[in-house]
């Protein structure tokens, strides 16, 4: 898909399909007004028939509108002009894309950037349109012998920009939107791959492939021997039941020549989570191929940063393993020693995410990080708490939590802060080791998982994103990985830029 930002007036626009907004009570947007003038009231007459009232999401496709050179004019209901906010705008854009894709139009000219979305500027609107349009083309059909035939006529979209002085902003938004959408597609692909293909060493190869295609990226892979040499007993204990051995993947992005301290992104990369010897029941095991989505999001975010050439230093660390049961797998009540030296009593081998993460977090210390953010499909409890609307956000540094929250609101890839109070910590005390990996009896799952991690993050500013509820959609045609929270993380990096320069 190609996007362009133009100040061309809609009545002058040559295109296969011009998209115009109509507000409630048949009020025309200014682009619609000017087309209506050109076609001498043809649109107004149509509104009078009652076929387009301007209700949110309503849609009317017209052909051969008098005096208009474009083949089609697509009218989209935008609801109340005064109440137009993020969600309504996204609903409008989604409607627009799905309707255009049903036509034979190869190029479209969209005049919805002028819609007055509350507190949002041209940059935001353009980026949403670009991101959503590219996402609409996403398919994962590499394992289908009969590919569903989807019409993909649309090749170009021109975005009508209200004024010349906003063109550069709009072009920047197009570039960002494309890089974010490419990152999201990359994360979705990795997430959707079956676990017999996407193993820890497969993830490692993907990191190496990224490093080959972007000179600003470099990858370093540690195998199980090297992981053992680093004394990462927690990561090893999770991987030891599988014939697909663990990998510690480091992908480094150097966007600056100076020695600016890096932002470290840590990802959970469990390529399949059976629960280990604390075996999951069959129903709960479905969806556990996505347990590497945190790691995929980290790789994808670095990919986007490299594509955008952000002037930052960023390091991705992915702890990848397969959590299998069996003879050589960890038992409940085993005690292991983590890289930090803290001993861990493993009371439930299904609480493996925090184990691989704690060693990756300790490992992050060597980069002298400015900030560390980990991303993990960590607990089912976060799904009960927040559903699919927001990632759970935990942090030991309030300004960082605020920045992530704000980045979520801007990107639409939201997160919501949860507490990390000391009073919770007691539940993780063990009679036999420094810490237990779960509370016995189980309680406040997501908070305790974060509390466990917090014991390994005392040396830096840290935030944890529990993405178990947002990383996948579990039903419907859209079943599969969502690519979240790539948009949130890239937004965080973009917002971080002014402070870093």
**Tokens representing 294?**
């945190």
**Tokens representing 285?**
């095991």
Nearer residue to Zn ion within complex by CB, 252 or 273: 273
**Tokens representing 330?**
């960890």
CA angle 169, 173, 179 (to 5 degrees): 150
Residue 287 found at the interface with ligand BES (CB under 6 A): yes
Q: Which residue has the tokens 């009540």?
A: 333
Residue 113 found at the interface with ligand BES (CB under 6 A): no
HEC states along 2-49?
Answer: EEEEECCCHHHCCCCEEEEEEEHHHEECHHHHHHHHHCCCHHHHHHHC
Residues whose CB falls within 8 Å of the CB of residue 365, separated by 6 or more in sequence, listed in order: 459, 460
381 contact choice in ligand BES, Mn ion, Zn ion, none (CB below 5 to 8 Å, kind-dependent): ligand BES
Nearer residue to Zn ion within complex by CB, 19 or 324: 324
Residue 294 found at the interface with Zn ion (CB under 5 A): no
Whether residue 354 lies in the annotated active site: yes
Residue 407 found at the interface with ligand BES (CB under 6 A): no
Residue 494 found at the interface with ligand BES (CB under 6 A): no
Residue 348 found at the interface with ligand BES (CB under 6 A): yes
438 contact choice in Mn ion, Zn ion, ligand BES, none (CB below 5 to 8 Å, kind-dependent): ligand BES
Residues whose CB falls within 8 Å of the CB of residue 214, separated by 6 or more in sequence, listed in order: 303, 306, 307
CB 24 within 8 A of CB 81: yes
Smallest gap from residue 297 Cβ to ligand BES (A): 14
Smallest gap from residue 438 Cβ to ligand BES (A): 4
265 contact choice in ligand BES, Mn ion, Zn ion, none (CB below 5 to 8 Å, kind-dependent): none
User: 154 to 183, contacts with ligand BES by CB under 6 A?
Assistant: none
Size of the site for ligand BES (CB under 6 A): 17
User: 410 to 439, contacts with ligand BES by CB under 6 A?
Assistant: 438
Cα–Cα dist 19/10, whole Å: 9
Residue 322 found at the interface with ligand BES (CB under 6 A): no
Looking at residue 331, the DSSP 8-state letter turns out to be P
99, 354, 414, 484: the catalytic one is: 354
- Round to the nearest angstrom and report the end-to-end CA distance of the chain: 32
468 contact choice in Mn ion, ligand BES, Zn ion, none (CB below 5 to 8 Å, kind-dependent): ligand BES
Nearer residue to Zn ion within complex by CB, 200 or 353: 353
Residue 353 found at the interface with ligand BES (CB under 6 A): yes
Residue 274 found at the interface with ligand BES (CB under 6 A): no
Report the SS3 class of residue 320: strand
Residue 377 found at the interface with ligand BES (CB under 6 A): yes
Going by C-alpha positions, the residue among 412, 404, 414, 421 that lies closest to residue 469 is: 414
HSE value, Cβ hemisphere, 13 Å, CA-based, for 239: 29
Nearer residue to ligand BES within complex by CB, 220 or 279: 279
Closest residue to Zn ion using C-beta atoms: 273
**Tokens representing 476?**
């419907």
Nearer residue to Zn ion within complex by CB, 271 or 411: 271
What is the sign, positive or negative, of the torsion defined by CA atoms of 66, 68, 74, 76? negative
CB 323 within 8 A of CB 348: no
Q: Which residue has the tokens 């509350």?
A: 118
Whether residue 259 lies in the annotated active site: no
94, 156, 172, 280: the catalytic one is: 280
Q: Which stretch binds Mn ion (CB under 5 A): 172-180, 348-356, 366-374, 423-431?
A: 348-356
Nearer residue to Mn ion within complex by CB, 178 or 278: 278
Which position among 291, 322, 403, 466 is part of the footprint of Zn ion (CB under 5 A)?
291
Q: Where are the beta strands (DSSP E) in 210-351?
A: 217-222, 247-254, 263-273, 313-323, 334-337, 343-346
Residues whose CB falls within 8 Å of the CB of residue 222, separated by 6 or more in sequence, listed in order: 230, 247, 248, 249, 250
Which position among 69, 152, 380, 389 is part of the footprint of ligand BES (CB under 6 A)?
380
Binding pattern for the stretch 251-280 against Mn ion, x by CB under 5 A and - elsewhere: ----------------------x-------
Which residues have a catalytic role annotated?
Answer: 280, 354
Catalog residues that contact Mn ion under the rule CB under 5 A.
Answer: 273, 350, 352
Catalog residues that contact Zn ion under the rule CB under 5 A.
Answer: 270, 273, 291, 353
Catalog residues that contact ligand BES under the rule CB under 6 A.
Answer: 273, 287, 291, 348, 350-353, 377-381, 438, 442, 445, 468
């Amino acid at each position: 898909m190609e996007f362009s930002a133009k100040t061309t007036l809609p009545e002058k626009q040559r295109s296969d399909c011009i998209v115009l907004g109509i507000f409630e009570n048949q009020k025309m947007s200014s682009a619609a007004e000017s087309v209506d003038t050109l076609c001498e009231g043809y649109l107004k007459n149509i509104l009078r028939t009652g076929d387009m009232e301007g209700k949110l999401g309503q849609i009317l496709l017209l052909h051969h509108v008098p005096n208009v050179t474009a083949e089609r004019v697509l009218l989209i209901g935008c609801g109340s002009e005064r109440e137009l906010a993020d969600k309504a705008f996204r609903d409008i854009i989604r409607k627009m894309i799905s309707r255009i894709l049903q036509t034979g139009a190869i190029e479209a000219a969209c005049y919805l950037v002028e819609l007055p979305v509350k507190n949002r500027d041209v940059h935001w609107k353009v980026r949403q349109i670009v991101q959503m349009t590219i996402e609409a083309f996403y398919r994962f059909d590499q394992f289908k012998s009969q590919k569903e035939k989807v019409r993909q006529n649309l090749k170009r979209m021109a975005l009508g920009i209200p004024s010349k002085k906003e063109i550069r902003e709009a072009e920047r938004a197009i570039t960002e939107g494309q890089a974010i959408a490419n990152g999201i597609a990359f994360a979705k692909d990795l997430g959707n791959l079956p676990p017999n293909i996407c193993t820890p060493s497969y993830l490692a190869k993907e990191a190496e492939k990224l490093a080959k295609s972007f000179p600003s990226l470099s990858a370093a892979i540690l195998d199980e021997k090297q992981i053992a040499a680093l004394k990462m007993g927690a990561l090893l204990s999770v991987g030891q039941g599988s014939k697909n051995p663990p990998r510690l993947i480091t992908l480094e992005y150097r966007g600056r020549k100076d020695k600016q301290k890096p932002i470290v992104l840590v990802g959970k990369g469990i390529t399949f989570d059976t629960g280990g010897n604390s075996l999951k029941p069959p129903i709960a095991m479905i969806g556990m191929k996505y347990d590497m989505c945190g790691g995929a999001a980290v790789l994808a975010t670095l990919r986007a940063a490299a594509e955008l050439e952000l002037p930052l230093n960023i390091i991705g660390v992915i702890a990848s393993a397969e959590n299998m049961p069996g003879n050589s797998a960890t038992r409940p009540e085993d005690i292991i020693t983590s890289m930090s030296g803290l001993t861990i009593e493993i009371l439930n081998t299904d609480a493996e995410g925090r184990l691989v993460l704690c060693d990756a977090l300790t490992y992050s210390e060597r980069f002298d990080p400015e900030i560390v953010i980990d991303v993990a499909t960590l607990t089912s409890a976060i799904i009960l708490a927040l559903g699919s609307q927001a990632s759970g956000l935990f942090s030991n540094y309030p300004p960082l939590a605020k920045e992530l929250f704000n980045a979520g609101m801007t990107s639409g890839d939201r997160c919501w802060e949860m507490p990390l109070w000391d009073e919770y910590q007691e539940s993780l005390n063990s009679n036999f080791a420094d810490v237990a990996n779960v509370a016995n009896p189980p309680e406040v799952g997501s908070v305790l998982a974060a509390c466990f991690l917090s014991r390994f993050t005392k040396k830096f500013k840290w935030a944890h994103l529990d993405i178990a509820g947002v990383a996948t959609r579990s039903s419907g045609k859209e079943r599969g990985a969502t690519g979240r929270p790539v948009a949130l993380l890239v937004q965080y990096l973009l917002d971080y830029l002014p402070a870093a320069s």
